[in-house]
Amino acid sequence: MRAVALIALLASPALADSMVATRTIRAQSVIAQEDIAMVAADIPGALAAPEQAVGMEARVTLYAGRPVHEADVGAPALVKRNQMVSLIFQTSGLTIHTEGRALERGASGDLIHVMNLSSHLTVQGLVAPDGSVSVGPRIKG
């Protein structure tokens, strides 16, 4: 009898933990520990560890009780739309600093459009970890 029970337990599929939202989290909100919970269910595509979401920004609205997927979260934005940013152009020993106005939000490593306030031209640049935007010939869009 014990052998049958043991075989039945071993034959059942193992449940993995999956992450769900504990409340409705609006897009562009930073996720805190109390905003998520782990449930004993294998939900395809759902995040499996709190470290994957805590401190990240919700890219879409997350609803209470629904799974949180990798595409639903991302690094918090350092640059907000219409924010004044430092534009930095660097090439072979030459560095030029000027001011620009961000035309979209972006996290570190994101490619965003910025209006150069001196020339009023729109350029594309890479958001740096300090919130400045690097522009130049090596920036690919």
Q: What are 23-64's pLDDT values in tens digits?
A: 999 999 999 999 999 999 889 999 999 999 999 999 999 999
Dihedrals phi, psi of 103, to nearest 5 degrees? -100, -5
Instruction: Identify whether 4 is part of a domain.
Output: no
In degrees, rounded to 5, the angle at the alpha carbon of residue 18 between the alpha carbons of residues 55 and 20 is 60
- Look at residues 61, 5, 52 and name the one whose alpha carbon lies nearest to residue 28: 61
Could you tell me whether strands 133-135 and 84-91 are parallel, antiparallel, or unpaired per DSSP bridges? parallel
3 state SS of 62: strand
For the chain, what is the domain count? 2
Give the per-residue pLDDT at 7.
Answer: 46
**Claim to verify: residue 25 and residue 68 sit in the same structural domain:** yes
**Residue 21 shares a structural domain with residue 70:** yes
Query: Does 53 lie in the same domain as 35?
Result: yes
Output the domain CATH number for residue 54: 3.90.1210.10
**69 and 96 together in one domain:** no
Q: Which residues contact 65 (CB under 8 A, 6 or more apart)?
A: 20, 21
- Predicted TM-score of the model (pTM): 0.70
Q: Are 70 and 92 contained in the same domain? A: no
- Domain around 42: 16-74
- 2 located within any domain: no
Reported as a single tens digit per residue, the pLDDT across 76-108 is: 999 999 999 999 998 888 999 999 999 999 999
* pLDDT score at 5: 44
